[in-house]
Structure 1
Amino acid sequence: MDRTSLAFQAYAPSTQPWGQPDATEIVTKLISLICISILSVLFGIKIFKIEFRYLTYSKWLVLGLYLCSWTFTITATLLASTNDGNSTSCTLSQLACDFFYSGSKFIIYVWLIEKVWIVSGNSIERWRSPTYIFHMCLLLPYVAIFTLMVYFKIASLDETGACLIGLQIIASVPLLIYDFILSTFMGFLFIKPLFIAGKNAHDDWRNSRLHGVAVRSFVATLVGLLVSFANILALVLFPYGVRDVICFTSCTIDVTINVITIHWV
């Protein structure tokens, strides 16, 4: 038995014939349906009686995150039903993770940069701010990592016909390191003004709206860091791929928690 089969069986064994879902697949699809329902409700709340022409850049990013996350959960649920014994569907599943899941992460990074710019109280335009430009340049490595994710993807069928998806070490490790460093850095940028305000007992900023935004954004960054780190770490620990429904479910829970957290912010 090859290493791919061993990794697969250790993570989520399946000996069911094609077309006969086992307990793992049933449970993961139920979780996916719950997450889809949550995302749909939050998306409906966000756009209820909304006037799009008055939306700020930050709110457009939130709507983009909702749409990208919802699209991923729907696509993942549909593809998971056609993956077994279907190499084309299996490949599309990994590409869906690469584009939609990675797209949602990219939007979150941009949203965090926008929040940092807001709480910093800059009076100049975004693209006239050297700090804002520097933070946006920090996203450039993600383009290279995304290229690695697409090129060094795992999308194959094992001897039972089950679909295995994931990332090779050369792509998963840089993704893990980049996500951890950038999220930690963003968290520091949110917590820094809180320490500054705490040292100045007469600083009214502590009671301002920006102070609340900084606190909530820091919490959102921390939650996103922990969830994403655990999810990406799983890809590193299983470099030969994991069962599609397991990978889809972990990513679906990831994006759902991020949307719930940002909705609260």
Structure 2
Amino acid sequence: MKAENSAVAIFPSKGMQVFSCLIYILGVSVLTHCISRRLSAEEWSRSSIREMPWVRICVLLVFVDSWLFLFTSGILVFGIGLETQELDCAMGIYICIVFYATSKILIYSFLLEKVYLVWTPSVGSSRRLKSPIYVVCAIMLGLYGAVIASMIAGRIHYLDSEGICIIGLQRYSSLALLAYDLLINIVLTGLFLWPVLRTNLVNPRLKAVAIRTLVASAVALTTSTVNMLVLALLQGHERGWVCLGSCGADVIFNALALFWVTQSRSSSEAISTRGNTRESSRLPEFKIMGRDGAVPQRAESRSAACH
């Protein structure tokens, strides 16, 4: 009997069906909370929106992208059904590639911006292309386009003899994604932490941001590595609900790690700093690390920009 005759047939047991459903329900709920917290912490006047730092825009876009991924894949798995026809099965891998890749690009852009903030003496966006560190990291980020192309070329989607949807990536695609994820995370996180931790920090808030970034990057990198490694070991062939569920759990952990890194120490602090966004984006030039290892007093404002 084809799996399309029963929505339960794609799951080996009721327990796994409930577990898969919980990933989407809890994930959408948690990400809705993250989005609402970020929206409430911003001032949504026209001038504030125009002057909102790119770091905060990246954070919001990561949460929205992750929410959309969980919402659409949840509807596909438990609403439309992956086994209804081959086109629905193919939609599973396309949804995974589009939203998963977009989420990664936004997270890498967030890390790139943090690297720029600690390595350049000016906050002005017009000077980005004059920063060698920023240019090199931006080129590395641009190489992700080749990884996305390999994911599209190496996509797998078909209905097996029992009518079960199988999706995934060819081994070369999953290994390319795994290698790139490891490289870019280590490089960007290391470039952010190196100038911060090698100085004698007088700003506890900046030090807390550095520690949080290290922990969150380790957690996010671990989940992504396990996800891609399992896919590679399985020759890129996974049941549709397993592949979408594992990628969903991956984006949830990445979004939560990002939320933890960027959250203020209290809600009142987040609200009170809304009015300072424009001033912090027009600070005079300073360097986060000097030859004497001292951090100027303006580092407090720079750490606020990192959030």
TM-score by length of structure 2 reads 0.75
Q: Is the 8 A contact 1:231 1:251 kept in 2?
A: yes
Change (3 A) 1:246 1:55: same
Q: Is the 8 A contact 1:85 1:163 kept in 2?
A: no
Change (3 A) 1:240 1:213: closer
What is residue 19 of structure 1 aligned with on the other side? Answer: 7
Q: Is the 8 A contact 1:187 1:222 kept in 2?
A: no
Deviation for aligned residue 1:137: 0.4
**Counterpart code for 2:71:** I
Determine the C-alpha separation between the residues in 2 that align with 1:78 and 1:247.
Answer: 15
**Counterpart code for 2:258:** I
Change (3 A) 1:210 1:240: closer
Determine the C-alpha separation between the residues in 2 that align with 1:253 and 1:58.
Answer: 24
What is residue 259 of structure 1 aligned with on the other side? Answer: 255
What is residue 7 of structure 1 aligned with on the other side? Answer: none
Alignment of 1:16-95 (within 5 A): 18-20=6-8, 22=11, 23=14, 24-48=16-40, 50-52=42-44, 53=49, 54-81=51-78, 82-95=81-94
Determine the C-alpha separation between the residues in 2 that align with 1:88 and 1:251.
Answer: 20
Determine the C-alpha separation between the residues in 1 that align with 2:165 and 2:17.
Answer: 12
Determine the C-alpha separation between the residues in 2 that align with 1:61 and 1:49.
Answer: 15
TM-score by length of structure 1 reads 0.86
Alignment of 1:1-265 (within 5 A): 18-20=6-8, 22=11, 23=14, 24-48=16-40, 50-52=42-44, 53=49, 54-81=51-78, 82-123=81-122, 125-197=127-199, 203=200, 205-265=201-261
Show structure 1 runs of 5+ residues with no match: 1-13, 198-202
Deviation for aligned residue 1:25: 2.6
Q: Is the 8 A contact 1:119 1:211 kept in 2?
A: no
Structure having greater relative contact order (Cα 8 Å, sep ≥ 6): 1
Aligned-residue identity in percent:
30
SS in 1 for 2:198: helix
Deviation for aligned residue 1:85: 3.6
Determine the C-alpha separation between the residues in 1 that align with 2:41 and 2:209.
Answer: 24
Who wins on radius of gyration, i.e. which is larger? 2
Deviation for aligned residue 1:172: 0.9
Show structure 2 runs of 5+ residues with no match: 262-307
Change (3 A) 1:195 1:46: closer
Moved more, 188-197 or 107-116: 188-197
Deviation for aligned residue 1:186: 2.0
Give RMSD over aligned pairs.
2.0
Determine the C-alpha separation between the residues in 2 that align with 1:212 and 1:49.
Answer: 20
Q: Is the 8 A contact 1:90 1:163 kept in 2?
A: yes
